[in-house]
Every structure is written in C-alpha cells, then in structure tokens.
Chains A and B, each alone.
Chain A
Amino acid sequence: MTATAPRGVVGRPWRKVDALGSATGRAVYADDMYLPGMLIGKQLHSIHAHALIRGIDTSQAEALDGVHAVLTGADLPVAYGIFPVSQDEHALAVERVRYVGEPVVAVAAVDEETAERALALVEVVYEPLPEVTTYEAALAEDGPRIHGEGTGANIHRSNAFEFGDVAEGFSVADHVREDVLFYSGNNHAAMEQHAAVAEMGSDGRLTLWTSTQVPHYVHRTLEKVLEMPAGHIRVIAPAVGGGFGGKTDPFSHEITASKLAMVTGRPVKITLTREEVFYAHRGRHPVLMWVRTGFTADGRITAMHFRSLLDGGAYGSYGAATTLYTGALQTTTYRIPAYRFEGVRVFTNKPPCGPKRGHGTPQPRFALEVHLDKAADDLGIDPVELRLRNAVEPFSETVNHLRITSSGLRECIEEVTRASGFAEQRGKLPRGRGLGFAIGAYMSGAGLPIYWNDMPQSEVQLKVDRGGGVTVYSMAADVGQGSTSVLAAIVAEVLGLEAADLSLVTADTDLTPIDLGSYSSRVTFMAGNAALEAATKLRAMVFDAVAAHLEVPADSLVAAERRVGVDGDPERSVPWSEAVRLAAAAFGPLTASGAYTPPDLAGPYKGSGVGPSPAYSYSACVAAVACDPETGVVAVEKVWMAHDVGRSINPLLVEGQIEGSVHMALGEVFSEEQAFRGGMHIGPSLLDYKIPSILEMPPVESILIETVDPEGPFGAKEAGQGPLLPVLPAIANAIHDALGIRVDELPITPWKVLQAVRDLERGGDGRVGPAGLPDVPFREPLRVELPQQWQEVAAP
C-alpha cells in the first residue's frame, strides 16, 4: 500500500516510545513480575547427550516441604513444534533424551532454593545410547537414529532444485571456481534470559506472560499441548529484552510454567539461567558449504551450484525453513541464469538450532561473498566491479521465481565504496591493514506464514476516545527493536499527531488483533501496512465529518500538527480533538481496522514457500581491519554500511539496527561460537561465550538509501537483519587484503590467522578451512520451469 509523502513524524529521528522505560529500569520484563502467592518453577535437565529414560523417581522431591508440584514428561504427553512438519518436541522429555540440557523434570516450590533442593532429590535412571555429534556420525547408515528406532542416517530435511540448465551454464563458462567454507553455530545471547509467568484464573482461564517474539505461536502451542480451547488462554509479551530469533519457538518453560500453574492453582514463574538459554538455543545452524560458479571472461555469472549441510541439533525447530533459506536468497543480489541448490539438515545430539538474525542466510552469504572475492582475483576484475556486472535489477524476477521490486543495490555499492575510499585504498595499504567489501539482501517479511492459511498476517485496530486520544492495538511484540515505535509513527503520521499522543497496546492475545510475530523482519512492512490502512480509514471518517463541518471537499483536507483542515489554509481547520468529536457525532463508534496479507508470491514448485517476500532490502558494506601477523589478532577499525531501507520511518532506529548488526556480526566472525566437546557445550556462560565488548566495537558509518518501495508503508522495507549479512564476508575479505590469507572457517580466531600466515610464508596458499563436504546423499534435484522473463532470455 502506498501513501503520500510523509510530512510529520515519519522520517524524523526520535526516541523510541519505550526508551525511557528501558533506560531507567522501569520497563517490566517477565522476570520482574511478582504475583501474590507466586511459586518458582525450575527444571532438571538431561546430563546425557543421548539416552533412554528408564525411570524417574520424584517421590522424595514431592515430599519436600515447600514443594507444590513435580511434573515429568508423562504429564505433558502431547508433542509440538513450531513447524507443522516438525512436531517432534515435548515440554519434558518422554522416554528419551537427545541432548545435554534437555528439560526432563519440572518443579514448583515456594522459592528458588527449595525448587533447587527438590530437583536434587529427583532420581532419573538413564540408559545411555551412543551419541551422534558430528556430520559424519549423523550421516552414517549404521549409526543410531536420534528420532525413530534402530540405525540409519539422521537426515531431517533434504531439498534440491535446479533452475535453468546448470551443466550448460558451466560448459559455456570461461572460468569455474569452487570453494568450501564453514560457518560455525552461535547463540543469540539476548541480554534478557527467557522468562515466563503463568497464572490460572478462578474463571478457569490461563494467562501467560512470557518473553517471546511470537505470542500467537505460543498461544497455538499452549492450545495444543495443554488441550485447552485457545479462547481460554491469554498470552502476553511484556517488555522483551532482545530476541534475535531466540524467542520465536514455543519453549518448554512456557508450557511447564503453565501446567504447573494449572496443577497448583498458584502463579508460577520460570526464568531460565544463562546456561539454560544456551541449551534452549535455536541459534545459528553450523553450515558446511560448497559453492561452484561459472563466469565468462568478463565476469558474468553463467551458472551456480550451491550445497549446504546443516547441523540441526536434536529437534526440528525452524530447520525445515532454515535448510531452504541456505539456498533461497543467493539470487536476490546476483543475476544467476542457471542455479542448482542442494541442502541437507541432519539431527545431532546437541541443543536444537533454529533461526537467528538473518535466518539461514548469513551462512551462504558469507560463503558467496568470499567466493566472489576470490573469483574476482582469479579473473583480474575489481571485486566491486564484479558485483556490479552481476547485480540484480530492480523490478525483475530471479531464476528461482522471486519477485524483486525496489532495489537500491547499485546506490548502496556506489555510496559505500565512495564513503570508504575503497577503490583508492584496497590493495594499497601497508601489510596488516586491509579493506574488504561485500553485499547482501534480505526479506521484508516472509511471504508465507509458518502454518498454511489464507488469513491476514497482520491486523491493527484503532480506537479513539472522546478527548481525541488514539489507542493502537497490535499483537506485534516489540523485542527492543522498536516495532511499536514504528507503528506509532505510521499512525501518528497519517492522523497528523505525535507518537506521544497514542496509547499503544501490543502483544496480548486477548486484547490485540493478530500479528504473527517479530520474526523474518516482517513487522514494519506487514503490521506497518495494517496500521497504515487502519489509520487511513479512520482519517477518512474524520475528514468526512470535518469536511461537512467546514463545508469543503474531504479531499482538500490534511491532518497535521494535531489539526485537521484545508491544506495550506490554517484559518479553515479544527483541532484534532474537535475533529474526532465531529466524527463521533456523525459515525458513532470511532474505530477502524486494517490488515495486511502479502500477495501470493510462491513459485510453481514445492519448496517455493521459503524466499518470497513482498520486498527485499539491500546492503553493501566495507570493513577496514588492522591485523597483527605475529599474534593473529584482528581489530576492525571501521565499518561502512549502506542500507536500502526503502524509507526510514525513524532513521535513529535504522541506524541502531545497523550498529547492532555490526556488533553481532563481529561476534560471529571472530569469537562467538556455540561449541561442543562431544555433546557437551564447552562453556554455557557469558564469560566463556565471547561477545565482543564495547572496546572491540569499531565506529560505524551508516548510509541510508531510500528507494521508496511501492508496497511498503511509506515505502519502507526491513532493517533488522539485512545489515548483518555483508559484515562477516567484508571482514574476511579485508583480512585477505591485509595479509593475503584466507580463513574460510568461522570463527576467525587468532590461531587460525597465524596458521594461515605461516602457511603462506612457507609457500602455501595461505588458506585455513574445510577441505570438502563428507559424503552427503543429496537428492535428485527438482527441475523447475523457468520464469516467463527467463524463458525469453533463454530462447535463441
């Protein structure tokens, strides 16, 4: 939906509506809640990576003074999972445990100490099974199966597609290059640990306050697992201290807190410890990738073949989508006339992986951008020029049937290279210093919902009180990114108000209309469009009433600066509060609602549901590094990021997302790793898990490119995930510029840098990284018909 050019709050930098609450500590997070009579819940976890549960004796725990209830898997027998195809989890393990840290028993007691003492009294008898923790073990035909009985390969998902004739594409290539890269897994490490408080009302209705990005999906899961009508359950997301995809699954503690509240009749709170957050995980999948690309001598891509092998951990989670995402978006930045993708996700006895900022796309983006940097070297073409020669054009369609609308890719590339002096400096800095370049693209919301339905993905309602106050209702959960502020800005802009004039009611399944949640960068675009529609409808009513009052045509009116009146004629206007009184007198209840349903964008093949989005954001990044060849330490000195956000509803928030993305990328590229010894996490704490500190954080120069997308609210697209993508490869490419080495395996530790430097000094190629993929039984690709546009190209 389009709208006229903004003149009010949209486009202005201003403080988030909830900023003062967060900054002063007044925001109420789930763990801040204390209800009368509240009990504390705690969970006991598996100490085995893979074992059968032979018996659980909870009698001593139940007998302990102060213990109100003890639950085991038998109390919550219904399986669930975020994806309809992966209903493979239980709130508490049933018969079998599949990773160290998996919840097995839950207690509710008068306080945390008593709950801990109770757990120490629980006896679980395990029969250990062989554990599967590597790709090789997971793929072995004669190894144990993690799901199901007996032996066999632990393949969770396997997808393969071919668009266009890849063999033909390679045969006409002048140069073909292959690379193998590894992207390690990592955790979201949101500042706020997950927490949930459940209360069973005397009316038999359950309320759950939980730190979640997706109240709706939690609601659906509770309905299923608790076997209660959805209408008797209310899920509320209070203030949420960061999510990054780590709070988009329904979690064990949400279900067990609810069940404990039902059993005890008292409110129950469960707050995860940091260790438990690392076990609940759902973080970035480790992905081993192989990519082969054909080029003409002048650097045009003729074909690409991409393979990914994902280590999914013990359960499905979002893995069905993640697998597809590792192959879906390569074509959104580069014009690839023939493309083949093969992806396999295996189960292992480790905490389940899921979606993290960029969901399945940072891994292939890292591989692709490093691969292209190397190809540019092979071809003797400037790496920026190579990208420009293959850049996807706006308003085009990719070979895998993705519809591209607005794209500021070229402007991003031009602006970021200009600002950073890339052309002048790359390859010319003293040894140890270097510049690297990369690009990326991301979706403004997944075109398809997680469970199939043809209802709107977002709805927003507005209600006006008699003093002119406007209340905005939306289920979108603000997880710190500022989504509520974005909705406020859109409504305020349309109605000519300030954000402070609005009352914002969000993320409450009783009070607010549907929004699928804060994931896939969808809220600004989708809930934003719903808010825009609702506000536009409300304004139309107000305009009609004011037009009648002023005796002017409604289309001559504007709403601005808390007044409604004739554009350019302040004499003929009324204050907003008067305008709504006129409208209420004319129309009765002053409410309006809006909805957003994405256009049907799926391609003509099974598996095409992942990748389509109503619009894509584009980014280009340059990183400057200083490397110490004796210690292997790499410091990032500066990052430049140009991001095509369509329209920045609030530039401050967009810059915040860019800076946060750079910080997160810095951790993923150098030091953050969800690492294991066998099935044991090597250090599930924030001391061992190395998030970069403020001292490692370089200055970031953000350049906002506005392409005004035809379908985005005021032209806006996403900003929350896309800017992460190019940072990692830009840094890896900068290290190559600095030292001539290639570390094709994350994280890039000082030790790996030293090994690569030493290898180069000894006449090697200066590369550290994986040699290849193990034997993966990729399936025969589904050959997909080319889009119309491409059939014409292919025709002689």
Chain B
Amino acid sequence: MRLPPFTFLEPATLAEATKMLADQGPAATTVAGGTDLYPNLKRRQSSPKTLVSLRRVDGLRGIRANGSGTTIGATTTLGEVAAAEVLPGAIRDAAGFVSSPQIRNVGTIGGNLCVDTRCDYINQNEEWRRAVDFCLKDRGEICWVAPRSSHCWAVSSTDIAPVAIALEAEIRLASVGGERVIPAEALYRDDGIEWLTRAPDEILTEIVVPGGNGMRATYRKVRRRGTIDFPILGVAVAVDVDGGGECTSARIVLGAIASAPVRASEAEEFLAGKRLSDEVIEETARLAGKAARPQDNTDLNSRYRKRMVPVEVGRALRSLA
C-alpha cells in the first residue's frame, strides 16, 4: 500500500508551524511521529493535501520538572515518557504499554493524545471498505456498528488520555490566535468523527502533569497480546488519600469503550470519603461497570469488554489500597 500524494512542510519554529496551519486551512494536517497518521493515510481514511510535520519544531520535545509538576513536550516520544523517572508511574506505564518498542521510539505523546478514533469498519483498506460500503467516518452514509445511528461510534484508543485525565493533567494548545490551557478531559468529545475539541489550526504543545501530594494512580490495559495491540479497555484510577487512609477524592477513567475517555462518576462519588476496603472496592468496581456501554467494534466482543470493567477497576483499586 502506498501513501497518497501530499505536500510535506517542515517548520522549524512553533510560530512557523501555526502560521502554516492557519494559511493552509482544513486541507492541512499536523503529523508528529506518523505512526497513527501514515497507516490511516495508506488505507485512504483521509487524503490531506498538506502535512505539517512537528518533528523539527524547536522546543516541543523534552520533559521538564517544575515546582508544581512536570511538563512533557508534545513531540517527546513514548519511549522517552516511559523511561522518565520524574513522571508518575501510571503515565510511564501507559506509555510503555503502547504498541511495540519500535513504535514507541517514533510515536509521540502529543500524537497519542490526538490519536484518531478506531473501529473495525474504518481501519481497513479502501477496497475492503468499498466492498462493505463506506461508513459515516469516511465518505459513507451509515454506521456499520449501529446501522440506525446517525452518530459514529469509533473508539478512543489512546492509552495516555485516561491517565492524563485521572492525573488531572492540563493540555496546552497554540495557534496563530494565541495559546490556551485546558484540562485533559476537555480535549475530548464523544464523537468518532470529531473526537477532539482542538481547532484544526491548533497545535498541542505540551501536557502538564501536576505533582499531586498523596495521590496514588495506576493504569491497566486490556488487549489480546502483551504488545502491539491497541487497548480494548483502558482503566486509569487516581485516588487522593489523606493521612488517615481515607480517599478524599477519586478519578476513575475508562478508555477504549466510547469515542472519548469515560469518567465513572457514580463510582468516583461513592468512593469519596471512604477507605479502600474490600467491600468498598467491590461496590466501586460494580458502579464503574455501569458507566461502560461498549459497542462491537474492536477486538473481542463488547460483552467481554463490559464484563472486564469491574474486574479491572477492582484490580486497579486493590493495587492502590
């Protein structure tokens, strides 16, 4: 399979990059490591006229600790994130679980946060999709996962996003119009086609991970093989525990079961103010399971993925107790 033809731009500074994006309009797409974008282009999921590469943009790569937390530049590779001792274990684990070592050497954290939503019916080559008939996400009129739906159910498949949300990280976006900082959660939209709130001319420049005193966090990933595979369920849990061992607050975020990461709010509320006893963990896990309504559009089946939510949330909480 070959890439479609495109113009490749390599800005050296952020200002140049944002200007290129603004000038080119929606026909342009950013690319960092390309490990998500290029395979999708080979399958003709889209055919952008111009790619603006971030690889040579100065100052976007690297991890810096500051007083209140740690800042990770958008083009820092997943391999670098996984190896960075200054970062919380949960985010390092999540980065280390992404695909394979080769892809982690190239794929970036910014690209991971923006990674395209996935579905059994879209991540196929063009001839396959023509045989089935194109779907809502590209050229078509129908969602093959839920044929009566007017909405695309492609799955948010980033491993980092659930952890970023659980850790209450912030995202910095830059465009010719200036910069804005938003909570990680606000980057996502539960829509397989428009899965990011990022404007087309905005570049994600960094992610800021707060220090978090007393915060314990973990990430668990369900997939068929121990490597290569995308998550078919990701569970990020962060709890703030006070001196007395009580959870003052909790964030339980489910990845890869909807078009955006899902907060298990009922479970979070239940857990607040309680100790992580066996009974509390079990009930929290059960409540978290209610938040998940996966469709049959990834590996294994949706019932299995739903069934795994309480199991994995329970295991996550036990590892934090």
Contact = CB atoms under 8 A, between A and B. Distances in A.
Interface of A: 45, 47-48, 100, 112-113, 116, 273, 275, 630-632, 671, 680-685, 687-688, 690, 692-696, 749-751, 754
Contacts of A687: 123, 228-229
Contacts of B226: 693, 695-696
Interface of B: 1-2, 5, 120, 123-125, 127-128, 130-132, 222, 224-229, 299-301, 303-304, 307-308, 311
Nearest to B118: A687
B120 A683 contact: yes
Contacts of B2: 112-113, 116
Given A47-B127, A112-B2, A695 B225 contact: yes
Given A48-B131, A751-B300, A754-B304, A692 B124 contact: no
Given A690-B224, A692-B225, A695-B226, A680 B1 contact: no
A685 B40 CA distance: 13
B300 A682 contact: no
25 contacts: A47-B127, A112-B2, A273-B1, A275-B125, A275-B127, A275-B128, A631-B308, A671-B225, A680-B131, A680-B132, A681-B128, A683-B120, A684-B124, A684-B125, A684-B128, A685-B124, A687-B123, A688-B123, A688-B299, A690-B225, A690-B299, A694-B227, A750-B304, A751-B300, A751-B301
A671 B128 contact: no
A749 B225 contact: no
Nearest to A684: B128
Contacts of A630: 311
Given A273-B1, A680-B131, A696-B226, 4 more contacts: A116-B2, A631-B222, A693-B225, A696-B225
A769 B228 CA distance: 30
Nearest to A751: B304
Interface centre among B127, B222, B308 (most CB of A within 10 A): B127
Contacts of A682: 120
Nearest to B42: A273
Given A113-B2, A690-B224, A693-B225, A45 B304 contact: no
Contacts of A695: 225-227
Contacts of B120: 682-683, 688
Interface centre among B5, B120, B132, B224 (most CB of A within 10 A): B224
A98 to B, nearest CB: 14
A25 B130 CA distance: 36
Nearest to B223: A690
A47 B311 contact: no
Nearest to B222: A631
A631 B304 CA distance: 9
Contact of B307 (A680, A696, A754): A754
Contacts of A112: 2
Contacts of B123: 685, 687-688
Nearest to A47: B131
Q: Chain A binding site: helix, strand, loop or mixed by DSSP?
A: loop
A100 B124 contact: no
Contacts of A751: 300-301, 303-304
A135 to B, nearest CB: 22
Nearest to B304: A751
Contacts of B311: 630-631
A113 B5 CA distance: 10
Q: Chain B binding site: helix, strand, loop or mixed by DSSP?
A: loop
Given A112-B2, A116-B2, A690-B299, A100 B227 contact: no
Nearest to B132: A680
A695 B229 CA distance: 12
Contacts of B225: 671, 690, 692-693, 695-696
Contacts of B5: 113
A693 B131 contact: no
Nearest to A119: B127
A750 B300 contact: yes
Contact of B130 (A47, A688, A694): A47
B260 to A, nearest CB: 22
A671 B303 contact: no
B300 A680 contact: no
Contacts of A685: 123-125
Contacts of B228: 687, 693
Smallest CB-CB A-B distances: 5 pairs = A695-B226, A47-B131, A751-B304, A693-B225, A693-B227
Contacts of A750: 300, 304
Nearest to A273: B1
A695 B123 CA distance: 25
A694 B120 CA distance: 25
Interface centre among A632, A682, A687 (most CB of B within 10 A): A687
A523 B287 CA distance: 61
A688 B300 CA distance: 10
A116 B43 CA distance: 13
A451 to B, nearest CB: 35
Contacts of A690: 224-225, 229, 299
A374 B146 CA distance: 42
A680 B299 CA distance: 16
Contacts of A688: 120, 123, 299
Contacts of A693: 225-228
A100 B120 CA distance: 17
A693 B311 CA distance: 24
Contacts of A48: 131
Nearest to B130: A47
A683 B124 contact: yes
Contacts of B125: 273, 275, 684-685
A691 to B, nearest CB: 8
B238 to A, nearest CB: 23
A680 B226 CA distance: 28
Contacts of B301: 751
A363 B224 CA distance: 23
A113 B3 CA distance: 9
Contacts of A632: 304
A245 B170 CA distance: 53
B297 to A, nearest CB: 11
Contacts of A45: 127
A683 B128 CA distance: 9
Contacts of A113: 2, 5
A739 to B, nearest CB: 16
B264 to A, nearest CB: 19
A108 B232 CA distance: 41
A604 B198 CA distance: 76
Contacts of A683: 120, 124
Nearest to B125: A275
A449 B98 CA distance: 49
B197 to A, nearest CB: 28
A696 B226 CA distance: 7
Nearest to B301: A751
A58 to B, nearest CB: 17
Nearest to B100: A693
Contacts of B1: 273
B102 to A, nearest CB: 12
A687 B132 CA distance: 19
A665 B124 CA distance: 27
A122 to B, nearest CB: 12
A694 B299 CA distance: 20
Given A113-B2, A116-B2, A682-B120, A671 B224 contact: yes
A45 B125 CA distance: 12
A695 to B, nearest CB: 3
A680 B304 contact: no
Contacts of A692: 225
B143 to A, nearest CB: 15
A736 to B, nearest CB: 21
Nearest to A758: B307
Interface centre among B2, B125, B131 (most CB of A within 10 A): B131
A750 B233 CA distance: 14
Contacts of B130: 47
A749 B300 contact: yes
B312 to A, nearest CB: 8
Contacts of B229: 687, 690
